[in-house]
């Protein structure tokens, strides 16, 4: 009888955990939809503003650092995918290694974006110049960088969990959430970069 009660309790705990994880994943998808809608709104705002003829658009060649940052973030999507596959096979050492690589690539991406901003400032492209369309470069890249910071924090949390050897199912779920979010940031940057390229 006690054994049956114990098994029933474990089933209830498992069900609660599954419900909690489904809710977290649903919230993640809602957040990503909201982020995409925000950038779509910025894109629409830019198109409407430039079509009004107030100024002549961005009219500048984008910093070459954006090319390198694109390559870096694509590579980071590959490394986090390897880390996720590793944890599904319970290979924690490989997971931690590729998590560290992904985090470092995220930091490199951030540094390259900052360098691109310094190039833009050297060209006297800022919020205070006469061409307001050029300020959209900072709006797009700045808000994306805020999400990159959030993504790096999520990755660090995954690494800490792996280092503390949390239960494997929790570790896998953390990695699944982190992987989905990081891939989304990758695709979002590609969208931003292509949009800016088409309007430079």
Q: Which domain holds residue 125?
A: 2-198
Does 56 or 198 have the greater pLDDT score?
198
Structure tokens given for 34: 């909201």
User: Which residue shows structure tokens 């896998």?
Assistant: 172
pLDDT score recorded for residue 62: 87
| Top-ranked range on mean pLDDT: pick from 34-43, 123-132, 147-156 | 147-156
User: Contact 161/171 with Cβ under 8 angstroms?
Assistant: yes
> Rounded CA gap, 200 and 195, in Å?
9
pLDDT at 137 over 90: no
pLDDT score recorded for residue 128: 61
**Across 148-152, average pLDDT:** 96
| Top-ranked range on mean pLDDT: pick from 4-8, 25-29, 174-178 | 174-178
Structure tokens given for 99: 């998590």
50 — pLDDT class (breaks 50, 70, 90) = confident
Chain centroid to CA 131 = 29
**Across 68-96, average pLDDT:** 96
- pLDDT tens per residue, range 189-200: 999 999 988 887
CATH number reported for the structural domain that contains residue 142 in this entry: 1.20.120.80
pLDDT score recorded for residue 76: 97
> Rounded CA gap, 33 and 55, in Å?
31
5 — pLDDT class (breaks 50, 70, 90) = very low
pLDDT score recorded for residue 14: 66
The total domain count for the chain is 1
Does 192 or 22 have the greater pLDDT score?
192
The terminus-to-terminus CA distance of the chain in angstroms comes to 73
Proportion of the chain above pLDDT 70, given as a percent:
84
> Rounded CA gap, 189 and 71, in Å?
11
3 — pLDDT class (breaks 50, 70, 90) = very low
pLDDT score recorded for residue 183: 96
User: Contact 105/80 with Cβ under 8 angstroms?
Assistant: no
């Amino acid at each position: 009888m006690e054994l049956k009660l114990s098994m029933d309790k474990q089933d209830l705990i498992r069900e609660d955990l599954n419900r909690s994880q489904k809710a977290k994943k649903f919230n993640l998808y809602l957040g990503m939809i909201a982020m995409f809608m925000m950038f779509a709104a910025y894109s629409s705002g830019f198109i409407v503003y430039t079509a009004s003829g107030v100024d002549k658009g961005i009219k500048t060649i984008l910093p070459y650092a954006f090319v390198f940052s694109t390559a870096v973030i694509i590579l980071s999507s590959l490394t986090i995918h390897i880390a996720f596959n590793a944890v599904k096979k319970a290979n924690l050492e490989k997971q931690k290694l590729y998590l560290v690589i992904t985090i470092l690539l995220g930091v490199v991406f951030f540094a390259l974006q900052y360098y691109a901003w310094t190039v833009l400032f050297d060209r006297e492209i800022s919020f205070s110049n006469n061409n307001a369309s050029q300020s959209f470069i900072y709006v797009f890249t700045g808000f994306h960088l805020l999400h990159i910071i959030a993504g790096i924090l999520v990755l660090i949390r995954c690494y800490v969990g792996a280092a503390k050897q949390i239960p494997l199912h929790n570790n896998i779920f953390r990695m699944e959430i982190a992987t989905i979010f990081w891939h989304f940031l990758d695709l979002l940057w590609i969208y931003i970069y292509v949009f800016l390229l088409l309007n430079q």
